[in-house]
Structures are given as structure tokens and as C-alpha cells.
Amino acid sequence: MSYIPKPKVSHPGLAKNKLGLTIRDYEGGLSTLCAGCGHDSITAAIIKSCFELSIEPHRVGKMSGIGCSSKTPGYFLSSAHGFNSVHGRMPSVTTGANAANRNLTYLAVSGDGDTASIGIGQFAHVIRRKLNMLYIVENNGCYGLTKGQFSATADVGSKSKRGVANEMDPIDPAAFALQMGAGFVARSFSGDKDQLVPLIKAGLNYNGFALIDVISPCVTFNNHEGSTKSYAHVRSHEAEVNVVDFIPARNEIAVDYAKGDATQVTLHDGSTMMLRKLDQNYDPENRLEALKQIQTHQMKNEVITGLLFLDPKESEMHDMISTPKKSLREFELAELCPGKEALEALNKSWG
Amino acid sequence: MKQIEATNEFVIRFANINGTGSASANGMLAKSFFKLGLPIGPKNIFPSNIQGLPTWYEVRVSEAGYTGRRGGSDVTVAMNPQTFKQDVEHLHPGGYLVYDSTKRLNEDHKRNDINYIGVPISEMARDHFLNAKSREMLKNVIYVGALAALFDIELEVFYGLVREQFPTKPKLHDGNFKALDLGYNYTKEHYPCPCGIKVSKRELVTSKIILNGNEALGLGAVYAGATVVGWYPLTPSTSVIESFSKYCNKFRKSKDGAQHYAIIQAEDEIAAAGMVVGASWNGARAFTATSGPGISLMSEFIGYAYYAEIPMVLFNIQRCGPSTGMPTRTQQSDLLLCAYASHGDTKHIMLFPSSVKECFEFSVRAFDLADRYQTPVFVMSDLELGMNDYVSAPLQWDESYQHDRGKVLNHETLDSMKDKFYRYLDIDDDGVPYRTYPGIHPSGAYFTRGSGHDKFGRYTEDGGLYQENMERISKKFHTAINHLPKPRKIIRDDSFGVGIVSIGTTSEPLHEAAEILKTRGVQVNEMLIVSFPFGDEVREFCENHQQVIVIDQNRDAQLKTLLVNELGLNPESLDSICSYDGNPVMASFLVESLSKKIKENAL
């Protein structure tokens, strides 16, 4: 991962959050991705979300795999702990990290190759385990660092820069996550920060596995005519099912929502999501319907965005393995060691 | 007819069909010898199968205390028609063959130099036990009754063992008692009892315990304070996790039901290794248990942990490779794999336990070493040690023992530090950097990466900065040598003629072989290596002897290769003996092959 320190310039007029930090405190090194890369917009959305949520940067684990997308944790929250793991294996590292310390926020960034090709196995199982994390897929349908090969999310008929059409059926990370039992599934577009920021905030506050599949065009290898992951294509084929407003706990709901226009969902930590419907028939609490809608639109060459599914019964891995609220790593070794007397009793039982 | 005459020195072998419940009956007999105060060495020789294939169980009884595999059999219980001929042939002349005489013996199963003890086991079971399922199981108990008669062991010993085995199921007692009586009475009536082989009560195992290596490893991890396990089921390592789980369940549950541990069964060994790395990075003690095929898959993360300097404990219960190999047979054939696992320049610490006690001790020690040196540590056991019971001195725990978490900066230190924290600085000139746990303090944050980095933890493609960091890691590895357990030596010949080098489970039969050679006037010295990288003691032993013989449990003399490679020894200066058929090394094999090697050299 390239690293270019960003000069710290202080702006006395910059707004401060509840922790007294400015948005500068949530930035990272300068991006070394191509100018105009969709991933940089997602980075900006992450910075804005964390700043506005007043998350303590050092209480975040920034997890990633390998690829252009996985480089981006270097570009946000420089005072958070970063873990740039190996290709397709970020989920297992995050699982271990979360098992050891459930009281950090795990914000993971992956790509479509990292998630749907080499990492599809770990992606499937981390969802099944309901790991409490936000998993963002920066999905551009191709491999950037190795110069434009198709990934497993490329649509049938989508053309490479050389004009070759993809013939294999795509894996849709959102549909896949729904089938694996994810509790929070959203899709967004890197070009739509207004949609993305509230989704990231809600995903970070969701107690369970949250996925945001973000279509994020690769300006160098996949932004041409004939590509279904280009800015132009996504803009003209996007169908937004709803708009999410995220209201943190203890904040008042300031906007007036017309009756029947919005649904209110309260998360375990007291924060609220207001879901404004754009598609009146779309029910984000119906897993089967969500799957059907994704497929139906896909057949029409459209991609639906918004909060696609939410299971309000938040549950996560630690509920299944009955671990205490206190993180396992906080236990002193002396507390965990049964000691001499216990061993003597065991010796007797083996005699 | 010749009859083997022996007291408290013999081998009994059971030939059974897998899945017929023979293991508990056979184990009961082994336990009865132990209860009578005798050292025993049970060996389970089983197939990769749940039901139907041949399985053998051997128990060596040795008043002299040699419990390694001797070879041959003095008493064989032949219950498997598939292997009957082979089992008859395997028996020593003058030995005793216990068989089910419900059917008549085949002509080609007859030998005129062994003693046949026919017991109509199936017939008796059919006549006395109505339930078909329990009838199968109780057949095994009938032959235990027969053996009790032959060895002259009071039935009360077995009644006690039955009660111990089923403490909460008294209904099962009567059937077992009945089966024991049937076998016992029939044999007493029809054959001279006791036979030439006698079991006589001693007090040689007072205060000793019986335990297998995997159980000791798992318990060691509980004592070490490990809290996170990422694992994938794989024979012969699975029982390490079962043991950890069992003892966590016993010792680590709070009153409100919270479990102070996380055991996560992964989707494969790659993920299992990733979980260990993630948990260790985040400050928990974490481990996995696996075998060779798992190490192959974990190599990606082993290299990551080596380079990013994350503690990792791996229990490798070695089995017979390559590839799937013979999954239920033993070998020590992952030495080179684990010493250098993963691509690029990597080297790893290994511990080689040779006993149940060492399994427990090295398990705890592995976590201290992994934390102290921030690197993967392998505990290299094998199927023989992991899955067989051993008579051992009781496990010990020193209450004054302090776990070593290594160089970790806490919140207070980070708060008061004048210099900025960087992850890979060699502040103490020992190659070991300081680390922080995530979330402890804003100034403790750093970026963990497997890509090229400098001593500040920053990404680099600068050759010089990359190399500086790699050199430090190498220095760290050499620092570790001073804290590893030292090799154990037995010096019989102070003129340093022949020195024999071994690791792990080879040591027990080797020791017996050396004692046998001594009775023949050949004095050899032994060195048991217990850790890698090798220290000066290992070099000195190899350099000081006129002839050095390295015993390997693999085809390619991997231990010898490692010695040559790491110590710069002349390959010609090391002789090699390899035993790698998947069975535990036998003392008789070593006596023969060592005699040959020593003679070769003398010529």
C-alpha cells in the first residue's frame, strides 16, 4: 500500500464534533489511486460518517484484504489501527479480532475480486457467523492493480476495455449476502454521497453483519462505453428503492416525515433510521422480496440501490458463543488459568 | 508345544473391526494392568474409517518401564476375519491366540507353534444378550473376561472399571458383568489358567497418571490463558480442540453462563489461521491445532504473521504424508515444512515434545515464546504421542509462574512516552520490537501490513529500508535461541564414539534400544532435541562424536537436513536412519539398524 503523508493544515474555522475533533482528524494519507477513482469518494464518505458519528478513531479496526479497494484504509482515520491482510482473507482476520475484542468498531473495506472471487468462501462464512462488522465492497467489476481483468461481479455482456464481453454470470454481493443470512444489506453508488453516508452510519451502528455493496467505477479500466460498471451506465440504470436518514442516539428527529412516507427503525443502541420510500412497494424487512427485486431489476439491466434489507432483530456471533460483554482480551491471564489445585484434582482423575 | 513364559513383560494385540465398540473393552484391559501397578504402553493402530475396516490395538506391559512399541505380539485376540491369517502369522512362536471358536478354524489359520484359546464368543453372546446392538459390544467384553482368566486377574478389578466407565448408567453394569463372567468361566473351565504369561501386582505406577498428548496440549492452552481458537477438524489434531473445549467448559464458565473463551470452527484451515492472527493482533492468546495438510493451507498466514510480527501458536499433530497420505498413521515429516513455512525468507520456532508432560509444558511455553518474539511458534507433536495413552508423572503447575506477554506498551506508557511510538524499532538491540493492542491509546495506532515496510511500519519499496527490517527479524530469531528449552543428553560413553540424535516420540524406543545395545557391550550417547532453532549444545554434540546417527520418522531425513542446513555441518558427517512406514518406531528396529550402522562405520 502506497503511503504519502498528508500535510496537516489547521483551519481554525473547521467544525468540531462531540469529541472536539475536526474532519481532518478522520483523514488519512494521500490516496495513490487514479484520479477520479470511485473508491476515493467512498473514502470521503467514510471520513464524513465517522466524523459526524463522533467515533473515537483509535477505537476503530480498519480491516482490508488486497487490491485497489483494500489500499483505501490508508487514506482514512490515520489514528485507527489498520490491518491490511492477505487477498480474500480479511473476514477471517476480522473474525479473530472481533472474538478477542468485541468492543471495537470493525470497518472493513474489500473489493469485488477480494470478496467475490478469491474471498467468496470467507465472505460467505463471515456472514453466516453474523460477525458484528461493517463490510463495504468497493465494486467495480474488474481487477485494477493487475490491469483490468474481469472479476466475478462483472455482468454478462459487459465489455472490457479491449472490447471483449464477459460471458459468465455475475455474483451479486448483495443477493449473496441475503442468502447467507446477513442482517443489514445495502447497495449504493460511489457517485452518490448523500445516499452513501447515512448507509455507512447505519451500518456502523448495526449490531450484526452489515454489508454495503458500493458500485464504484474504475476510471482507468472499466469506465467506457459497453461497461455496466461505468459512471454513465450506473447513473442511467440506477433504481433507488428508498432513502435512509440516520439519526444517532439522543439526537432528536428534526425532519417532519409525512405519514406513510417513512418508516422508523430503532437500532439496539438507540439510534434511529428513517426510511423514506421511493418505491412504495418495496419492503426492506422482507428477505425474499429483496432477493426477488434485485433479480427482477437485474433482468431489466437495472441496479437497485438503498437499504435493501434490514433484520431489526439484531444478533451477532458473540450471542451464539455466549461470550461475556467484557472483551476476552481484557481478562488477566491469572483469571483464565485454573491453577495448581485444579491440576492436582485432574491428576487424580487420570490415575 | 512351546509356551511363552513371562511375568509382567509382554505385548498383547487386539485385531478388531472398526466401529464394533472394541476400543472401550480393549482400553479396559489396558487400564486393569495399570491398576495392578504396571507400566503400560498402549498403541492404537486404526484406519481412516468409521466402520468396517481393520483396526488394531496393542498394549505393551513392561515392569522394566519400556513402554515404546516393542514389535511382535505374545498374545493376540483375533476378532477380525479379514485379517485373521495375518494376525496368526504375526504372533510370536509359543504365543497365545484368543479367537471366537463359534466357527471352526480354517486349515490355513493353523500353526503348530502357537497356543489356540478358542472361546465361543458369538454363541455365548447370542445365547445371553437379546439386544442386537449391545450384543456386538459385549462380545468384546467376553474376551476381556477370557483374558482375565488367562492372566489370572481378579474379576473385581474389571467390575470396578465398568463402574468407573459408566458412573451414571448402572443399567449397563449387569450386562458387562455378565459378559466378563461368561468369558472368564469358560476359559477357566477349558484351558489351563493362568497361561504362561502372568500379571503380577506391583507398585510401579503409584501416583502416575494415564493421559494422551493431545489432551495435555489442550489443557496447556487453558493454563496458558488462551481465549481464542480458530480451527478446522483434521485427524489427528481434532482432540486437541476437544480437550481445550472440555477444560474451558469446566474452568472458564462464569455463574451467569458466560463463556470466557471463543472456539470458532472455521470453513477451512486458511480461515482458521486468519482467526488466530486476527485475535493475536488484537491482544488475545490464540491458537490452532492441525496436521500437515492444514499447515500447507495455513502457510499464507504463517508468512504474514512472521513478517508483520504477530504471535501465533500452532499445534501440529503430524501424520503420514504427502498429500492426504495415511491420515491415521504417524510420522514426523513436517519438519522442513514448518521450519520454513510460507514464501519468501521465513523461519519459525518449533518445540518438539516427547512426552505427555512435555506436551503440557510446551503448550504453555509456546504462548510465552510467541508473545515474547511476536512470531509463529509450532508445537510439533505427532499422531503417536497425540492419540495414544501414556503413563506419566503427574502434571505440575507452579503457582509462582508468570505468563510472559512480551513487549507490549500499555495505555499509561503510551501516555507518558516522549518519543513517538513506531512498531518495528529495535530499541533494546535484541531484534524484538514493541507492540500495542488496538484501541488502547490514539498514539499506539499503526498500520499492520504484509507488504514491504520499514522500521516505522510504513509502506516501502526502498531496498535498503526493506532489508534493514528483514535483518532485524533475523536477529530476533537468533535472540530466541537463548530462551528455548535445551536438548537432553544421556552420556554413556565419555570417549564420544557414537552419538544418536532424535526428536519427539523417537526418544522412547531409542532409549530402550540404547539400553539393549549396552547389554551387548555397545555404549552409545543420546541427544533428544526439543527445540528449533538449534543452539550451540546441538552443534557441539554433533561435532564432538566420531559417529553421529540421526533418527528420522520420514523418508528424506528431514531432521538431518535441518541440522546440516542450520548448523553448516558436513552432510557426510551424519549417518541417517529413517523409519517412516506410518507405525510408531520400534526398539527392535532401532537395535537392528543401529547395530548395522555402527558396524558399517567401524569397518
Span B152-179, pLDDT tens digits:
999 999 999 999 988 888 888 999 999 9
Of A2, A321, A350, the CB nearest to B459: A2
Cell numbers 478469491 correspond to A118
Q: Which three-class secondary structure state does DSSP give residue A263?
A: strand
Q: What is the mean pLDDT of residues B244-263?
A: 96
Residue A196 and residue A41: Cα distance in Å, rounded?
10
Q: Do A96 and B274 touch (CB under 8 A)?
A: yes
Phi and psi at residue B468, to the nearest 5°: -55, -45
Cell numbers 511455553 correspond to B365
Of B252, B271, B439, the CB nearest to A58: B439
Of A57, A99, A337, the CB nearest to B223: A337
**Chain B residues close to A338, C-beta within 8 Å:** 222-223, 247, 250-251
Cell numbers 460498471 correspond to A229
Q: Is B225 exposed, middle or buried (0-12, 13-18, 19+ CB in 10 A)?
A: buried
Q: Among all residues of chain B, which has the CA nearest to that of A119?
A: B271
Q: Among all residues of chain A, which has the CA nearest to that of B221?
A: A337
Q: Which three-class secondary structure state does DSSP give residue A4?
A: coil
**DSSP string across B228-267:** EEEE---TTTHHHHHHHHHHHHHHSB-TTS-BS-EEEE-S
pLDDT band per the 50, 70, 90 thresholds, residue A250 = confident
Omega into A312 within 30° of 0, i.e. cis?
no
Give me the pLDDT at residue B602, please.
Answer: 64
Q: pLDDT tens digit string along A97-155?
A: 999 999 999 999 999 999 999 999 999 999 999 999 999 999 999 998 898 899 999 99
Give me the pLDDT at residue A180, please.
Answer: 98
Size of interface A-B (CB pairs under 8 A): 221
Q: Parse chain A into domains and list their residue ranges.
A: 23-349
Give me the pLDDT at residue A9, please.
Answer: 66
Q: Is the pLDDT of residue B140 over 50?
A: yes
Is it true that domain A23-349 has CATH number 3.40.50.970? yes
**Chain B residues close to A6, C-beta within 8 Å:** none
Percent pLDDT > 90 in chain B is 94
Q: Which three-class secondary structure state does DSSP give residue A197?
A: helix
Q: What is the mean pLDDT of residues B303-307?
A: 98
Listed in order, strand segments (DSSP E) in B238-388 are 262-265, 286-290, 312-320, 326-330, 349-351, 376-382
Give me the pLDDT at residue B274, please.
Answer: 98
> Residue B137 belongs to what H/E stretch?
helix B132-151
CA nearest neighbour of B261 among B274, B281, B278, B247: B247
Q: Among all residues of chain A, which has the CA nearest to that of B257?
A: A322
Q: What is the mean pLDDT of residues A314-332?
A: 97
Residue B172 and residue B23: Cα distance in Å, rounded?
17
* Residue from B161, B397, B420 whose CB has the most chain A CBs within 10 Å, to mutate: B397
Alpha carbon of A121: minimum distance to chain B alpha carbons (Å) = 8
Amino acid making up residue B100: D
CA nearest neighbour of B390 among B185, B217, B230: B217
CA nearest neighbour of B38 among B1, B64, B71: B64
**Chain A residues close to B442, C-beta within 8 Å:** 56-58, 79
Q: Is the pLDDT of residue A253 over 80?
A: no
Alpha carbon of A93: minimum distance to chain B alpha carbons (Å) = 4
Q: pLDDT tens digit string along B318-329?
A: 999 999 999 999
C-alpha separations of B256 from A102, A322, B225, B252 in Å: 19, 10, 20, 11
Alpha carbon of B396: minimum distance to chain A alpha carbons (Å) = 7
Alpha carbon of A53: minimum distance to chain B alpha carbons (Å) = 17
Q: Do A328 and B260 touch (CB under 8 A)?
A: yes
Listed in order, strand segments (DSSP E) in chain A are 60-64, 81-84, 105-111, 133-139, 184-189, 209-215, 238-240, 242-247, 262-266, 272-277, 303-310
Residue B292 and residue B378: Cα distance in Å, rounded?
12
Of A121, A323, A350, the CB nearest to B268: A121
Q: What is the mean pLDDT of residues B112-133?
A: 95
**Chain A residues close to B396, C-beta within 8 Å:** 343
* Residue from A21, A180, A347, A349 whose CB has the most chain B CBs within 10 Å, to mutate: A347
Q: What is the mean pLDDT of residues B311-317?
A: 98
**Chain B residues close to A64, C-beta within 8 Å:** none
Residue B62 and residue B10: Cα distance in Å, rounded?
7
Give me the pLDDT at residue A5, please.
Answer: 65
Q: Is the pLDDT of residue A3 over 60?
A: no
String of b and e for A272-299 (b: at least 16 CB within 10 Å)? bbbbebeeeebbbeebeebbebbeebbe
Alpha carbon of B269: minimum distance to chain A alpha carbons (Å) = 10
Q: Is B138 exposed, middle or buried (0-12, 13-18, 19+ CB in 10 A)?
A: buried
Q: pLDDT tens digit string along B585-601?
A: 999 999 999 999 997 76
**Chain B residues close to A336, C-beta within 8 Å:** 222, 225-227, 252, 260
Q: What is the mean pLDDT of residues A90-98?
A: 98
Alpha carbon of B179: minimum distance to chain A alpha carbons (Å) = 26
Give me the pLDDT at residue A1, please.
Answer: 46
* Residue from B212, B395, B447 whose CB has the most chain A CBs within 10 Å, to mutate: B447
* Residue from A63, A85, A109 whose CB has the most chain B CBs within 10 Å, to mutate: A85
Residue B41: CA count within 13 A, CB half-sphere: 24
Residue B90 and residue B88: Cα distance in Å, rounded?
6
Q: pLDDT tens digit string along B382-421?
A: 999 999 999 999 999 999 999 999 999 999 999 999 999 9
**Cβ of B557: how many Cβ atoms within 10 Å?**
21
Q: Is the pLDDT of residue A278 over 90?
A: no
Cell numbers 493492542 correspond to B437
Kindly report which listed range (A37-51, B45-59, B226-240) carries the lowest average pLDDT score: B45-59
- Alpha-carbon B10 to chain mean position: 23
Alpha carbon of A36: minimum distance to chain B alpha carbons (Å) = 23
Q: Do A96 and B230 touch (CB under 8 A)?
A: yes
- Which residues are registered as beta bridge partners of A242? A277
Q: Do A125 and B275 touch (CB under 8 A)?
A: no
**Cβ of B155: how many Cβ atoms within 10 Å?**
17
Residue B499 and residue B494: Cα distance in Å, rounded?
11
Given a contact cutoff of 8 angstroms between Cβ atoms, the answer to whether A77 and A36 are in contact is no
Q: Do B446 and A91 touch (CB under 8 A)?
A: no
- Which residues are registered as beta bridge partners of B378? B314, B350
Please state the length of chain B.
603
Q: Which three-class secondary structure state does DSSP give residue B552?
A: strand
Q: Which three-class secondary structure state does DSSP give residue B316?
A: strand
**Averaged pLDDT score across all residues of chain B:** 96
Q: pLDDT tens digit string along B447-505?
A: 999 999 999 999 999 999 999 999 999 999 999 999 999 999 999 999 999 999 999 99
Q: Is the pLDDT of residue B242 over 90?
A: yes
Given a contact cutoff of 8 angstroms between Cβ atoms, the answer to whether B126 and B142 are in contact is no
Q: What is the mean pLDDT of residues B3-28?
A: 95
Of A336, A338, A350, the CB nearest to B211: A350
Residue B155 and residue B396: Cα distance in Å, rounded?
34
Q: pLDDT tens digit string along A184-225?
A: 999 999 999 999 999 999 999 999 999 999 999 999 999 999
Q: Do B262 and A122 touch (CB under 8 A)?
A: no
Instruction: Tell whether the torsion through CA atoms of A318, B247, B328 and B501 is positive or negative.
Output: positive
* Residue from A6, A336, A344, A348 whose CB has the most chain B CBs within 10 Å, to mutate: A336
**Chain B residues close to A91, C-beta within 8 Å:** 271, 274
Q: Is B145 exposed, middle or buried (0-12, 13-18, 19+ CB in 10 A)?
A: buried
Alpha carbon of A237: minimum distance to chain B alpha carbons (Å) = 37
Q: Do A92 and B266 touch (CB under 8 A)?
A: yes
Q: pLDDT tens digit string along B50-107?
A: 888 999 999 999 999 999 998 899 999 999 999 999 999 999 999 999 999 999 999 9
Full set of structural domains in chain B with CATH? 6-198 (3.40.920.10), 211-392 (3.40.50.970), 411-470 (no CATH), 488-602 (3.40.50.920)
